[in-house]
Chains A and B, each alone.
Chain A
Amino acid sequence: MKILVCISHVPDTTSKINFADADTKFDTNGVQFVINPNDEFGLTRAMWFKEKQGANVTVVNVGSAETEPTLRKALAIGADSAIRVNTEAKDGFQVAKELAKVVQDGGYDLVIAGRESIDYNGGMVPGMLAGLTNANFVNNCISLEVDGTNAKAVREIDGGKETVSTSLPLVIGGQKGLVEESDLRIPNMRGIMMARQKPLQVTEPTGANAETTSIKFEKPAPKGAVKLVDADNVGELVNLLHNEAKVI
């Protein structure tokens, strides 16, 4: 089985978000970038397929050279090879188009992506990629097993979960649950050394266009100070929630 794991390179979850160039660009100053958490779960599941079922795992990112350390980290965790499509995509559609080319050229059976990236939170790329490559698609995936060309997945739904059966070629939008939190791997020295030898191929984009254009960013309006209620006067909170906030 050939697996492609899509890696988006995102600001660490603790990052303060600021903008530059008259609020038209994300200010990367002082921001640390990581593998998107949803993709980290996916990558770890891919390692299981590699170790237990002999799968070959490639990681891919559509982005500029700045994302290479993130791909190297994925190699250090255990992926066999990496591809970077050399373009700064403007929206999820453009990313999906570039990834579709990678999938077609590489003949991948299974594509593991994340439910959403924590930067632009489009939640678009995996579904669009499935649509573009005519693959089956399971989103919010919290468990995945593959047997030959058949796959069984569990997906989270509002208020519970659903077990589905499907077949390869398949794209999933993965999230926490795909593997245990404790199974996530921190690259060790040997992994880091080996990652240096592994192929990281840079390919040129197909030149697909975006369908949306980002105009400007805004930060939420600053919040007023919290209203404190005395612990001995809890009734006052009920009163405020009813009469002031009007939420009960």
Chain B
Amino acid sequence: MSVLVYTESEEGKFKKTALEVASYAKTVADQMGTTVTAIAFNANDTNVLGNHGVEKVLQVNNSSLDKFNANAYANVIAQAAKQEGAKVVVISSSADSKYLAPLLAIDLDAGYASNVVEAPSSTSPFTVKRTAFTNKAFNNTTIDTDVKLVGVSKNAFGVHESSASASVEEFSANVPEMGVQVESVDKVTGKVTIADAEIVVSGGRGLKGPENWGMIEELADVLGAATACSKPVSDLGWRPHSEHVGQTGKPVASNLYIAVGISGAIQHLAGINASKTKVVINTDPEAPFFKAADYGIVGDAFEVVPKLIEKLKEFKAQQ
């Protein structure tokens, strides 16, 4: 009857979103008077899950599952959910989790609500609040099936502490045949990704050309941030497509989003609105971004950004 949570890891280490979904699962379990079981693939430090309310960890150790495979992972998570008799399954909103979720929903005959931003307002009927219209609105939805699948939006619920000591059980699952084989992975290492970043620094057409991105990268470096850009910037080839954020690009839900030389078109804002604090630097006080931002500087990026970098360096040195 427990709540099952899929806790994602990378190279054996849990991601921050894993702790966030564990915290979410703990809240749901408390509401329902039950406990949280986590399922983890090839992860090392399972103890940390205890700090976020997980009582049992089903540990899958299987080298054929070293690389993410949506169908295989969904299938194994479904086996775990069935073994535990889980009525609620919680996952994150990472690209991988969103990939496997609909397959898992079919495996479990579970109704699925994605992009959920709050703990359920009621567990019977099971009612959650999710984003719709690319963050332009919220939708309150009930999940009407016996087993429920909840995808939690990044950074919406937060990581909460609640101590339990997690017992660990080896879970030997049957791995189905993989219809999709990974041939090669091309991943920038040592760089913060937009998906994982707490802070994102983003540049727009106001920066005039790719040769001016040095200061954006430096600003990102000082802050430990990921870099992003508006759509025209990636369309013009100034920056790679993978940096394009917005309604038709990557979604951003960071703690801090700094927009430099970006006008704030509705399609851009929709994709970054889930960020907690937004800062805009733009020469035009009428730029729509000023209506969406928390803090703003009306000024020339080529003067403001170098000064900001300098001030941040001083600030970091004092910390």
Residue in A closest to B121 when the chains form the complex, CB atoms: A215
Q: Name the contact of B186 in the complex, choosing from A37, A121, A160, A214 (C-beta under 8 A).
A: A160
Q: Name the contact of B179 in the complex, choosing from A163, A166, A248 (C-beta under 8 A).
A: A166
Chain A residues closer than 8 Å to B273, beta-carbon distance = 220
Chain B residues closer than 8 Å to A17, beta-carbon distance = 133, 136-137
Q: Name the contact of A164 in the complex, choosing from B140, B183, B191, B244 (C-beta under 8 A).
A: B183
Q: Name the contact of B187 in the complex, choosing from A19, A159, A234 (C-beta under 8 A).
A: A159
Minimal beta-carbon separation of B287 from chain A (angstroms): 11
Q: How far is the CA of A91 from the CA of B273 in the complex (A)?
A: 24
Q: How far is the CA of A125 from the CA of B106 in the complex (A)?
A: 11
Q: How far is the CA of A129 from the CA of B307 in the complex (A)?
A: 52
Q: How far is the CA of A224 from the CA of B294 in the complex (A)?
A: 8
Interface residues of chain A: helix, strand, loop or mixed (majority):
mixed
Q: Name the contact of B140 in the complex, choosing from A92, A156, A218, A235 (C-beta under 8 A).
A: A218
Q: Name the contact of A14 in the complex, choosing from B99, B138, B266 (C-beta under 8 A).
A: B266
Cβ–Cβ contact B267 & A163, under 8 A: no
Knowing A158-B193, A166-B180, A229-B297, say if A121 contacts B308 (CB, 8 Å): no
Chain A residues closer than 8 Å to B141, beta-carbon distance = 212-215
Cβ–Cβ contact B70 & A217, under 8 A: no
Asked if A127 is at the interface (CB within 8 A of a chain B CB), the reply is: yes
Chain A residues closer than 8 Å to B107, beta-carbon distance = 131
Knowing A139-B70, A245-B277, A248-B256, say if A217 contacts B139 (CB, 8 Å): yes
Minimal beta-carbon separation of A142 from chain B (angstroms): 8
- How many residues of chain A get a CB closer than 8 Å to chain B's CBs? 78
Cβ–Cβ contact A245 & B95, under 8 A: no
B226-251 vs A, Cβ < 8 Å mask (1 yes, 0 no) = 00000000010000011010011100
Cβ–Cβ contact A226 & B280, under 8 A: yes
Chain A residues closer than 8 Å to B66, beta-carbon distance = none
Minimal beta-carbon separation of B130 from chain A (angstroms): 8
Cβ–Cβ contact A124 & B293, under 8 A: no
Asked if B196 is at the interface (CB within 8 A of a chain A CB), the reply is: yes
From residue 134 to 148 of chain A, which have CB atoms closer than 8 A to chain B?
136-140, 142
Chain A residues closer than 8 Å to B195, beta-carbon distance = 158-159
Interface residues of chain B: helix, strand, loop or mixed (majority):
mixed
From residue 194 to 217 of chain A, which have CB atoms closer than 8 A to chain B?
210-217
Cβ–Cβ contact B143 & A237, under 8 A: no
Cβ–Cβ contact B183 & A231, under 8 A: no
Knowing A120-B139, A136-B180, A160-B188, say if A227 contacts B111 (CB, 8 Å): no
Cβ–Cβ contact A162 & B186, under 8 A: yes
Q: Name the contact of B111 in the complex, choosing from A93, A120, A216 (C-beta under 8 A).
A: A93
Q: How far is the CA of A234 from the CA of B303 in the complex (A)?
A: 10
Chain A residues closer than 8 Å to B188, beta-carbon distance = 159-160
From residue 263 to 299 of chain B, which have CB atoms closer than 8 A to chain A?
266-267, 270, 273, 276-277, 279-280, 290-299
Asked if A28 is at the interface (CB within 8 A of a chain B CB), the reply is: no
Chain B residues closer than 8 Å to A211, beta-carbon distance = 110-112, 143-145
Q: How far is the CA of A13 from the CA of B129 in the complex (A)?
A: 22
Cβ–Cβ contact B113 & A212, under 8 A: yes
Q: Name the contact of A157 in the complex, choosing from B96, B113, B223 (C-beta under 8 A).
A: B96
Cβ–Cβ contact A137 & B295, under 8 A: no
Minimal beta-carbon separation of A233 from chain B (angstroms): 9
Asked if A22 is at the interface (CB within 8 A of a chain B CB), the reply is: no
Q: How far is the CA of A139 from the CA of B114 in the complex (A)?
A: 16
Knowing A231-B297, A237-B308, say if A138 contacts B247 (CB, 8 Å): no
Chain B residues closer than 8 Å to A190, beta-carbon distance = none
Cβ–Cβ contact B304 & A231, under 8 A: yes
Asked if B215 is at the interface (CB within 8 A of a chain A CB), the reply is: no
Cβ–Cβ contact A127 & B101, under 8 A: yes
Q: Name the contact of B101 in the complex, choosing from A124, A164, A166, A227 (C-beta under 8 A).
A: A124
Residue in B closest to A128 when the chains form the complex, CB atoms: B102
Minimal beta-carbon separation of A149 from chain B (angstroms): 12
A1-31 vs B, Cβ < 8 Å mask (1 yes, 0 no) = 0000000000101100101000000000000
Cβ–Cβ contact B187 & A218, under 8 A: no
Cβ–Cβ contact A247 & B111, under 8 A: no
Minimal beta-carbon separation of A125 from chain B (angstroms): 8
CB<8 Å pairs between A and B, sample of 9: A17-B133, A131-B103, A131-B105, A131-B106, A156-B242, A165-B180, A212-B112, A240-B295, A245-B294
In the complex, besides A127-B102, A137-B180, A139-B95, 13 extra interface pairs with C-beta distance below 8 angstroms are A124-B101, A132-B106, A136-B180, A158-B94, A159-B193, A165-B180, A165-B183, A213-B142, A214-B140, A218-B137, A223-B294, A231-B300, A237-B297
* B residues whose Cβ falls under 8 Å from a Cβ of A: 70-71, 94-96, 98-103, 105-107, 110-115, 127, 129, 131-145, 179-188, 191, 193-196, 198-199, 223, 235, 241-242, 244, 247-249, 255-256, 266-267, 270, 273, 276-277, 279-280, 290-300, 303-304, 307-308, 311-312, 315
